[in-house]
Chain A
């Protein structure tokens, strides 16, 4: 089904605004289609095609607010949700930090992140892509599992201060894990884009097959600190995890790795290596983002780190006012600039090191240092004298991205990643492969 247009969304939201009895009201309408086909053990498992349309209403009475949501969008449903938000607002205490809704904004179009073909693609398209992985895997006595999904959606926002915005996006992704029949080898391939035409399922499958065969019968080597080559999916996982802690208020209150001893934050300090640039840019062609954020602020390019120096953090509208700063929208995506080396160049230049295909189950161990733990997965290899020597058993790491970003030796160009646990799905993440010295692996895992 075609997406609701900007005009249709605006008409519906105006009906919601007209129901308001509060001082001010903001309504957000979101909807779209999600479709997927899943496979395991070289055969289809579940598949589906779903649609939804939901409404979020935020009512203000003075310094009180209430939020209610519904997806029942007949006149009675709309009335009910507006009254529910107002009731919540009336019953709760005042919030001195509550900000008024934003006024009318100027948005540049409806964004570059939507592709009609991606939104509309059917189960037959996905089945063909999956067949292009399953068939070669079966032919080599390998076992494939994975997901091919596509979706399209929109967000429209309107408030009683005269603002209205409409943004839309689409996403297609294909990921596959291919394992050897004896369970001693496992490989992974992935592609994610807002355009389904960018998904080359055959190439993704071929990569997973190659990694599965290369990773057979891994040998154990001692845990310790190693030079590592992290493929883009691994880098994107670690860097995006850290960027979620770039919050100015947390830092100013002394509860962030970006807090300064004695008070304040570390904006302006050189915190990472010279090569490190981290930013968001809604118009970045390889991973465009939405036009505005969840409060309606227009998304813009914003540098978090430039040449290793912390340039800004995320400022909420309240904290920006209190600290006399500009509020920061979004972010719309997360981008780490890359370099010009290839992964092959990195391998050739490495006397002894480890190549990591991707990471898994990454969790925060200590917010003080952004110490993260997790494991390597689906293709971990020992490099000696500039060549891949053997597949090795997976490692658990305990490492902080802050140290990693101070130990960079080489970088590849940046690409859109498909991180573990679907990192990069809601918010596009772009990252390079990195060659990094002194990365801490703390124990071995028997998992393949």
Chain B
């Protein structure tokens, strides 16, 4: 592989590149899709190829091909150079890179107990059909019950080499078993849904047993049924207690994205947007209350974004984003770290395919649990709420292009009255403004109740790319948040 990589690097240098890298990658996906007692779809996908990125006279160029042959590699490297040269007239600000260490023979593999691609399809399908059966046989439904369940596994095998002298080989594995239960009341014409609460994670097949969909399915079916008769929420300002299966997505949208340096600098303005967390706020801005501490970490155990080196050969690490409520850090890559005068990148570069160019993508960004040794659960946080809502699971999500105004739904909404959960609510969403929301945080669960959530599909960039990213958090309490009722008639 090193020989092939060197063909690209040498060809790029010969044509005038001041820097070049090549990523030779194989991406494998597997989907097993079922509904009720049917296996609807089983698909294995595989895509293999390489991408060469070059820096020529301060301009980036990139080209990619699926034919890994020496002549083609040289041709693609030269094409990348010609793409970079064509940008000369519009490269008003030359791109520079912060230094990176050399890793001449580096390796990293996601530590998994069982590679999901080695487990038989029949075992996977049988398990999902049992999950579906467990959900559909729950009694008390007002009409038909439907269940869709899926196992979705990914594997990235990638080889990176650069003119800095690094040669890095990595294999990353991620897994996600999930289901959705739908209960229909034909008489009223209403239907209610409940998704499983577990999200993708950087583990192997062992997560199937850990998530215990079989145990969750009947509970989910019961809750879908109960939603038909649940009380519509009375809108107004209420206290929220948010379970980690819900809160991870709020962390992602309201802290993960605003602290991406490419957004802050304006490079994402045309698509994902810019950020309210501008540079003059760094080190000063009270993003959240004093108990709010949020870390970025590409080394976090089981994180979806966890790896040994990022996609431009920077060794991964962890760092503070918010410390004691104050904005103290951004996510960076080699070119934008240079723009703001940093000494090094913190390793947030990623490409979702060999044919996509790497750029800044989110590391795992996690809310830290309460300090101290006191054990604090969601119930402990609920105990100090007179009028509120406890939310489990992620639902609808939307946030503006500078990451101020957001609205989130969920899966299960519990009414809290005088410190106790008193029953299910429906038609619930909350709207807030990011700094108002995080400054309203007055309670955190302890480390015993910390969990990882995450997504395979964080979208960003043009042409669009996806990124898999995890967010850990404990349960947390937020005072006086605007809760809205989403029920409508058409």
Contacts and interface: CB of A to CB of B under 8 A. Distances in A.
Contacts of A375: 398, 400-401, 405
A257 B489 CA distance: 10
Given A53-B66, A255-B191, A68 B90 contact: no
Q: Can you list the 6 inter-chain pairs with the closest CB atoms, starting with the nearest?
A: A123-B86, A261-B189, A48-B62, A40-B267, A447-B402, A254-B184
B396 A67 contact: no
B103 interface: no
A33 B484 CA distance: 46
Interface in B235-262: 262
Nearest to A446: B404
A435 to B, nearest CB: 21
A37 B90 CA distance: 10
17 contacts: A50-B64, A52-B64, A69-B43, A69-B44, A70-B48, A71-B48, A131-B90, A145-B269, A365-B486, A370-B490, A373-B396, A373-B429, A377-B401, A402-B490, A421-B464, A422-B464, A445-B404
A88 B184 contact: no
Q: Binding site of A, secondary structure by majority: helix, strand, loop or mixed?
A: strand
A51 interface: yes
A95 B120 contact: no
Interface string B17-59: 0000000000000000000001111111111110100000001
Contacts of B158: none
Nearest to A87: B121
Given A37-B87, A127-B87, A254-B186, A51 B462 contact: no
Interface of B: 38-49, 51, 59-66, 79-80, 82-84, 86-93, 120-122, 125, 129, 143-144, 146, 182, 184-191, 193, 262, 265-271, 273-274, 276, 355, 357, 359, 396-405, 407, 409, 427, 429, 431, 433, 459, 462-464, 482, 484, 486-490
Nearest to B339: A41
Given A41-B265, A254-B184, A361 B86 contact: no
Interface centre among B42, B125, B189 (most CB of A within 10 A): B42
Contact of B45 (A34, A37, A66, A68): A68
A interface bracket (residues with beta carbon within 8 Å of B)? 35 or more
Contact of A91 (B59, B121, B429, B464): B121
Contacts of A437: none
A368 B86 contact: no
A361 B400 contact: yes
Nearest to B143: A254
A49 B60 CA distance: 12
A369 B62 contact: no
B400 A445 contact: yes
A41 B93 CA distance: 9
A260 B490 CA distance: 12
B44 A443 contact: no
Contact of B91 (A44, A54, A145, A445): A44
Contacts of B274: 179, 183
Contact of B121 (A88, A183, A369): A88
